[in-house]
């Protein structure tokens, strides 16, 4: 019996076959059961901000586990209050902001979805209904039924129809937003860099325009920072690149560096939409998760990892373009959220070749590689990445019969 047999027999088939069995991690490296080492440029999908087994993470888990873990939301704990204050400060909400804690990105977005509905309900009391929610085509907001309804990918929704009603999908342009919005819209949901869709940043100035337009129509602007938050794009949150103030953001992935935690952070008047009895979670905001996230965010701040993400991201993009592979069209993204565009639909072959060479990367679709390493990476990891990625590219180039300009079409 191999681990593949166990997996095929015992795990729900909602994922494709797992590519490796990992037994240990340290920093930017993973090891499989045979002791082979891999450079990890996926980091649990933009989650392991501090890399694997970082001492700050390990100590925070151990210390809090030995102190207090779970008391339910009938009670408060010091780490929960400290994390709420820290998230408010980093997001720049000022006094008026509030934080709701869940355990994942989807739970953070479920809270935001309910926030939008509560905004609609409040308008209804004043005689002006807001049954509409706008979201962007191709953006990803999660896999639960509520967040799937917000996710503009028809092929993902199709097996699970009917969806929760009211959500309409628009192109990611200011013109499309202007054309679609009216005073019956409760909220616009935005993913600032569409990660799952292939690391596609919004057009420059989109968030600034979206802020002005949603405000004019009394709609909330809700920004999904689940992949872009916690410093990954070179600011604490991607919306800060445009200096706007949203009504709510959602965070998860990087804030726990592998510990499952998510949160919705509200700004201004949106902070007073929830009232007792309207939402909750048994585990959400427990002392263990919030203590770990406090430690993780504290280490990101102490070690200057937001700036490191900006600098290493630029260095990584330049290094990839310097490889000069005929397969590479160019790089996209912000900070350490990098998409590599490919000229042929070989992303999956490249992922497999990279693993042969000891490198973990991710294909978001047939012609995009996503790179989201730990925010702690430095020169050594980038140099090693370039060596391994170049080797993987050569493997795929050699296997491909690339059409040349001298070929006469049949």
Ligand X SMILES: *Cc1c(COP(=O)(O)O)cnc(C)c1O
CB 42 within 8 Å of CB 337: no
Mapped to the 3 state alphabet, what secondary structure does 49-83 carry? Answer: CCCECCHHHHHHHHHHHCCCCCCCCCCCCHHHHHH
Is residue 142 involved in binding ligand X (CB under 6 A)? yes
Phi, psi of 81 (to 5 degrees): -65, -40
CB 236 within 8 Å of CB 202: no
Query: Is 80 within any annotated ligand binding site?
Result: no
Is residue 141 involved in binding ligand X (CB under 6 A)? yes
CB-wise, 80 or 227, nearer to ligand X?
227
Give the x/- contact pattern for ligand X in 216-255, rule: CB under 6 A: --------x-xx------------------------xx--
Of the candidate spans 137-145, 198-206, 308-316, 381-389, the one that interacts with ligand X by CB under 6 A turns out to be: 137-145
Which one, of 202, 220, 254, 184, lies nearest residue 112 by Cα? 220
- The pair of structure tokens assigned to 63 is 């210390």
CB-wise, 253 or 332, nearer to ligand X?
253
Of the candidate spans 32-40, 103-111, 174-182, 380-388, the one that interacts with ligand X by CB under 6 A turns out to be: 103-111
Query: Is 227 within any annotated ligand binding site?
Result: yes
CA-CA distances (angstroms) from residue 188 to 83, 204, 249?
27, 18, 12
CB 224 within 8 Å of CB 165: no
Q: Which of 191, 235, 247, 367: binder of ligand X (CB under 6 A)?
A: 191
Q: Which of 120, 195, 198, 333: binder of ligand X (CB under 6 A)?
A: 195
Query: Is 22 within any annotated ligand binding site?
Result: no
Phi, psi of 405 (to 5 degrees): -70, -20
Beta pairing partners, 333? 338
Segment 116 to 135, residues that bind ligand X, using CB under 6 A: none
Closest approach of ligand X to the CB of residue 87, in Å: 17
Query: Is 281 within any annotated ligand binding site?
Result: yes
Which one, of 232, 228, 227, lies nearest residue 312 by Cα? 232
Q: Which of 86, 104, 281, 364: binder of ligand X (CB under 6 A)?
A: 104
The residues that touch ligand X, with contacts defined as CB under 6 A, are 104-106, 109, 140-142, 191, 195, 224, 226-227, 252-253
Name the binding residues for pyridoxal 5'-phosphate: 105-106, 140, 224-227, 282
């Amino acid at each position: 019996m191999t681990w593949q047999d166990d997996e095929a027999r015992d795990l729900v088939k909602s994922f494709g076959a797992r590519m490796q069995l990992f037994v240990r991690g340290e920093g930017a490296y993973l090891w499989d059961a045979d002791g082979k080492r891999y450079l990890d440029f996926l980091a649990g999908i933009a989650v392991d901000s501090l890399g694997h087994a970082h001492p700050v993470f390990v100590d925070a888990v151990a210390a809090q586990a030995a102190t207090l873990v779970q008391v339910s939301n009938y009670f408060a704990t010091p780490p929960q209050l400290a994390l709420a204050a820290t998230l408010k400060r980093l997001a720049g909400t000022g006094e008026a902001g509030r934080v709701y804690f869940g355990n994942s990105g989807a739970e953070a977005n479920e809270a935001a979805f309910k926030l939008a509905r509560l905004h609609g309900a409040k308008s209804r009391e004043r005689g002006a209904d807001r049954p509409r929610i706008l979201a962007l085509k191709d953006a990803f907001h999660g896999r639960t039924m509520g967040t799937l309804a917000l996710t503009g990918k028809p092929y993902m929704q199709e097996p699970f129809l009917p969806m929760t009603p009211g959500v309409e999908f628009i192109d990611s342009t200011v013109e499309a937003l202007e054309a679609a919005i009216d005073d019956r819209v409760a909220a616009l949901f935005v993913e600032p860099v569409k990660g799952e869709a292939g690391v596609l940043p919004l057009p420059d100035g989109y968030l600034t325009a979206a802020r002005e337009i949603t405000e004019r129509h009394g709609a909330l602007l809700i920004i999904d920072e689940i992949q872009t938050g916690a410093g990954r794009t070179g600011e604490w949150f991607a919306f800060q690149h445009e200096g706007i103030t949203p009504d709510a953001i959602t965070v998860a992935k990087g804030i726990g560096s592998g510990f499952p935690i998510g949160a919705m952070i509200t700004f201004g008047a949106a902070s007073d939409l929830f009232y007792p009895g309207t939402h909750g979670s048994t585990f959400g905001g427990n002392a263990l998760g919030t203590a770990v996230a406090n430690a993780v965010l504290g280490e990101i701040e102490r070690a200057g990892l937001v700036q490191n993400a900006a600098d290493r991201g630029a260095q990584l993009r330049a290094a990839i373009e310097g490889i000069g592979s005929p397969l590479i069209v160019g790089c996209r993204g912000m900070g350490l959220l990098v998409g590599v565009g490919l000229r042929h639909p070989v992303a999956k072959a490249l992922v497999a070749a990279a693993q042969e060479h000891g490198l973990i990367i991710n294909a978001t679709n047939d012609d995009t590689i996503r790179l989201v390493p730990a925010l702690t990476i430095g020169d050594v990891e980038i140099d090693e990445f370039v060596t391994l990625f170049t080797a993987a590219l050569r493997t795929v180039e050699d296997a491909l019969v690339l059409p040349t300009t001298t070929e006469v079409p049949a």
